[in-house]
Amino acid sequence: MFIDPHAHMVSRTTDDYEAMAAAGIVALVEPAFWVGQPRTFVGTYVDYLSSLVGWERFRAGQFGIRHYCTIGLNSKEANNEALAEGVMEWLPRFAMKEGVVAIGEIGYDEQTPLEDKYFRAQLALAKELELPVMVHTPHRDKKRGTSRSMDVCEEMGLDPSWVVIDHNNEETVRETLDRGYWAGFSIYPSTKMGNARMVELLKQYGGDRIIVDSACDWGISDCLGVPKTAQLALESGIAESVVRRVTYENALTVYGKSGQMHAADWLDPAPIDQRTLFEGNSILRGGRDPLVEATPARRRDNLLIE
Amino acid sequence: MPVTSLALLRQWVCRQTPEQADWLKTQYARLGESANERDLHLFLGLAPRRLGKQDLILSPTDLALANQAYPGWNPSGWSLDGAARIAALLIFQGPRPFPAAFQDLVRTADARELVTLYRGLALYPQPQLLSFEVGEGLRSNMRSVFESIVHRNPYPRDHFDEHRWNHMVLKALFIGSRLGPIVGLDERANVELARILLDYAQERWAAGRQVSPELWRCIGPFAESVSAYEALERALAGTPDERGAATLALIAADTPSARTLLLTTPATTALVAEGRINWDNLTLLEAA
């Protein structure tokens, strides 16, 4: 049983949902993010946030996967001040919706003054609404950007145990953990973290406050990042308890602080929910062992389309 | 004094969560005087957190009272927080007319919230002005959202024009939803709908697919005008459910041709006459 605590499902297909469910993913967190090109109207951003709490949640439910999300203005679009001001007005309304487990992903891209302004404003919002925070750390000037993100969280009075610093690597993890934050790792080919490197990090740091995610999105990325890393870690001799913490329990602990995410949501769904919004948990129902290999290869193998 | 839907909702919610009754009373009092939509948003966000999301527990008496307060209103299947949220919407006195506030609520709603917002449609002030949002809900691909408008909800019966009504019924069939829970299904039956549904049945059969037996309910009264006898004959030869449905439809048609066809299915016709087969029960259930 896995949780993928960072997956941009609006950019993924139903094949991915099927593969994730078959591989044992029972829940995921979809952070509000940059969709590959800038939104230039406040309204398109609002509709995007609406799809995260509405349509995408329903879509995931049809595959027996529980969908949670984080609400926020991402760092790239924070640079469009008119857009950013408009979005900030709507954010509090979305932050109160069901299944919103954090404010995120927020933080720095190029570390501009506008990025800084809206990062701080959203940290203040998270504090006011008592929500955890998911911090996106920059791809460029990463090490300094990561340190600065944590400095600002502290300046704004946030408790590090309520903040996930995501997209860590070998260079940033030590400081993130030492300062008391949760350290997210995105298993994302080429640009972020590979899973063999991840296994090495688990050997070194254990499972305390470490969270593995896929960050799968519109780029070449793998929605099975979490189960594949778990399998590789187990094959490399990492203790099962450590694997379970970094691929399931830790994410549930930190995002569960929102009061919006409970294991019972997927282990024991309410009957009314099963009748209306969630197709139950096919893995638990069928008693089948989740496996990466069990991923359906329908596209390739099935000639008939009915 | 006649019973109101608001009074019933308040009573049911407080009865089920007596420990929250004081909180609800304070909140509702504020919403009744407030000119601030933020208070409403806050209440809608807090309702599931404070009350929980369990089913609203209703007795047959409660359902009878609901039907008295608004004919056709059937709150069975509602959730506790949903009932509390709809009561809040009925109480709220805001700065803008209700339809404008409602538009923003729909725009920002999460999946469960949408279901709740639409379930209350018939009860809101100026319900006829909510037509645009209702259209968006009908077009939704979220089945539960579509059904929150279509099932056990008197709004379509009271406010839909014929075109929208007919397309609602057709979509219900198309997505495999039930017709039985549609309020006013027989009342709003019309010859145009019968024609559309007969075409739909032929198209399904041509593709080698089944049709829902419930479809014949909307065709029966117009069997003569839309020339449905051949299709009904085929349905009579189908599954037990289809035979039951076709029999009921032919009885509703009540024409010489229908009566002739009914002679080929005497056993089922007799069961209908005895009240043992009806639209809620298309085949004879084994005695329990």
A286 pLDDT tier (thresholds 50, 70, 90):
very low
Q: Does B53 touch chain A (CB under 8 A)?
A: yes
Same-domain check for residues B90 and B210? no
- Check whether residue B84 and residue B127 sit in a common domain: yes
Task: Show which of residues 106-145 on chain B sit within 8 Å of chain A, judged by CB atoms.
Answer: 107-115, 141-144
Chain B residues with CB under 8 Å of A272 CB are: 53-55, 77, 79
Q: What is the pLDDT of residue A47?
A: 96
Q: Give the pLDDT mean for B273-285.
A: 89
Q: Is the pLDDT of residue B286 over 60?
A: no
Is B41 in Cβ contact with A93 (below 8 Å)?
A: yes
Task: Let me know whether B165 and B198 are in one domain.
Answer: no
Which chain A residues touch B42 with a CB distance below 8 Å?
Answer: 96
Judged against a pLDDT cut of 70, whether residue B237 lies above it is answered with: yes
Indicate the pLDDT class of residue A192, thresholds 50, 70 and 90. Answer: confident
Residue A50 has its nearest CB partner, among B79, B107, B141, at B107
B205 with B136, same domain: the answer is no
Task: Put residue B108 in one of left, alpha, beta given phi > 0 → left and psi -120 to 50 → alpha.
Answer: alpha
Q: Got the DSSP string for chain B? A: ----HHHHHHHHHHHH-GGGHHHHHHHHHHHHH---HHHHHHHHHHHHHHH-SPBPP--HHHHHHHHHHSTT---TT-BHHHHHHHHHHHH---SS-HHHHHHHHHHT--HHHHHHHHHTGGGSSSGGGGHHHHHHHHH-S-HHHHHHHHBS-SHHHHH--HHHHHHHHHHHHHTT--STTBTTTTTT--HHHHHHHHHHHHHHHHTT----TTHHHHHGGGTTTTT-HHHHHHHHTS-HHHHHHHHHHHHHH-SHHHHHHHTT-HHHHHHHHTTSSBTTB-SPPPP-
Mean pLDDT score of chain A: 92
Enumerate the residues of chain A whose CB falls inside 8 A of the CB of residue B110. Answer: 53-54, 57, 97-99
Q: Which residues of A touch B (CB under 8 A)?
A: 46-47, 49-50, 53-55, 57-58, 61, 90, 93-94, 96-99, 259, 270-273, 275-277
Among B41, B112, B141, beta carbon nearest to A277: B112
- For residue A283, what pLDDT is reported? 42
Residue B49 has its nearest CB partner, among A47, A50, A259, at A259
Mean local confidence (pLDDT), B37-51: 93
- B279, part of any domain: no
**Under DSSP, is residue A26 helix (H, G, I), strand (E, B) or coil?**
strand
Q: Is the pLDDT of residue B220 over 90?
A: yes
State the nearest Cα–Cα gap between A277 and chain B, in angstroms: 7
Q: How far is A53 from chain B (nearest CA, A)?
A: 5
Which residues form the domain of A235?
A: 2-296
Domain that holds residue B205: 191-273
- Write the ipTM: 0.85
User: Is residue B36 domain-resident?
Assistant: yes
Task: Quote the minimal CA–CA distance from A224 to chain B in Å.
Answer: 26
Q: What is the pLDDT of residue B2?
A: 77
Where a domain ends, among B174, B205, B238? B174
Residue A74 lies in a domain: yes
For position A296, what pLDDT does the model report? 60
Residue B176, Cβ neighbours under 10 Å: how many? 8
| Closest residue on chain A to B107 (Cα) | A50
pLDDT at B248 over 80: yes
User: Is B236 part of a structural domain of the chain?
Assistant: yes
Measured between CB atoms, which of B53, B143, B144 is closest to A270? Answer: B53
Contacts of B108 in chain A (CB under 8 A): 46, 49-50, 53, 90, 93-94, 97
pLDDT tens-digit series, residues A198-223: 999 999 999 999 999 999 999 999 99
Going by C-alpha positions, the residue among A182, A216, A185 that lies closest to residue A198 is: A185
pLDDT of A243 > 90? The answer is yes
Q: Which CATH number belongs to the domain containing residue A222 in this structure?
A: 3.20.20.140
Residue A304 has pLDDT above 80, yes or no: no
Contact A272 B111 (CB under 8 A): no
| Cβ neighbour number for residue B268 with a 10 Å cutoff | 25
Same domain as B244, residue B169:
no
Q: With bands split at pLDDT 50, 70 and 90, how would you rate the model's confidence at A268?
A: confident
- Cβ of A98 within 8 Å of Cβ of B42? The answer is no
Q: Kindly list the distances between the CA atom of residue B72 and the CA atoms of B6, B10, B66, B164, in Å, as whole numbers in the listed order.
A: 15, 19, 8, 19
* pLDDT tens digits, A31-69: 999 999 999 999 999 999 999 999 999 999 999 999 999
Together in a domain, B228 and B125: no
In this complex, the residue of B79, B111, B114 whose CB is nearest that of residue A272 is B79
Best of B57, B139, B142 to mutate (most A CBs within 10 Å, chain A)? B142
- The pLDDT of residue A287 is above 90: no
Q: B223-228: list long-range contacts, CB under 8 Å, 24+ apart.
A: B223/B194, B223/B249, B223/B250, B223/B252, B223/B253, B223/B255, B223/B257, B223/B258, B224/B253, B224/B255, B224/B257, B224/B258, B225/B191, B225/B194, B226/B191, B226/B194, B226/B195, B226/B198, B228/B194, B228/B198, B228/B253
Give the residue with greater pLDDT, B228 vs A189.
B228
Exposure string over A19-31, b if 16+ CB within 10 A, otherwise e:
bbbbbbbbbbbbb
Chain A contact for B204 (CB, 8 A cutoff): no
The answer to whether residue B123 scores a pLDDT higher than 80 is yes
Q: Is the pTM of this model over 0.95?
A: no
β-pairing verdict for A210-213 and A182-186:
parallel
- From the list A50, A259, A272, the residue facing B55 with the nearest CB is A272
Specify whether B122 is located in the same domain as B212.
Answer: no
Q: Which residues of B touch A257 (CB under 8 A)?
A: none
Single out the residue of B242, B288, B286, B231 nearest to residue B265, CA to CA: B242
Do both B132 and B159 map to the same domain?
Answer: yes
Q: What percent of chain B has pLDDT over 70?
A: 98
Complete edge-to-edge strand list for the sheet that includes strand A2-4? A2-4, A25-31, A66-71, A100-107, A133-136, A163-166, A182-186, A210-213
A103 in any annotated domain: yes
Give domain status of residue B181, yes or no. Answer: no
Residues in chain B: 288
Residue B255 and residue B218 in one domain = yes
Which of A97, A271, A276 is opposite residue B115, by nearest beta carbon? A276
Kindly state whether residues B219 and B250 are assigned to the same domain: yes
- The mean pLDDT value for A212-237 works out to 96
- B4: tokens are 């109101």
Six-digit token string for A28: 């995921």
One domain, residues B214 and B91: no
Say whether pLDDT at B242 is over 70.
yes
The CA distance from A225 to the nearest CA of chain B, in Å, is 27
Chain A residues whose CB is inside 8 A of the B147 CB are: 276
Mean pLDDT of B195-203: 97
Smallest Cα distance from B147 to chain A, Å: 9
A189-193, B25-29, B52-56, B69-73: the lowest-pLDDT one: A189-193
Give B217→chain A minimum CA distance, Å.
25
Smallest CA–CA distance, residue B255 to chain A, in Å, is 39
**Number of independent structural domains in chain A:** 1
Minimal Cα–Cα distance from A52 to chain B, Å? 8
Which residue in chain A has the smallest CA separation from B114?
A54
Q: Which of A119, A166, A152, A161 is nearest to A4 (CA)?
A: A166
In this complex, which of A46, A57, A259 lies closest to B111 when CB atoms are compared?
A: A57
Residue A85 lies in a domain: yes
Is residue B220 one of the residues assigned to a domain?
A: yes
State which of B143, B174, B205 marks the end of a domain.
Answer: B174
d(CA A123, CA A95) in angstroms, rounded, equals: 12
Place of tokens 């009748």: A275
- CA B19/CA B51 separation, integer angstroms: 9
Residue B258 lies in a domain: yes
Q: Which of A180, A157, A156 is nearest to A165 (CA)?
A: A180
Q: Is residue B71 part of a domain?
A: yes
pLDDT in tens, B5-34: 999 999 999 999 999 999 999 999 999 997
Size of interface A-B (CB pairs under 8 A): 67
Residues B228 and B166 in one domain: no
Is pLDDT at B287 greater than 50 in this prediction?
no
From the list B107, B112, B143, the residue facing A98 with the nearest CB is B112
CB contact under 8 Å between A94 and B141, yes or no, is no
Q: Which of B146, B174, B202 is the last residue in one of the domains?
A: B174
The stretch A163-187 carries a mean pLDDT of 97
Rounded to 10 degrees, the C-alpha dihedral A9/A10/A12/A18 comes to 60
Q: Tally the domains of chain B.
A: 2
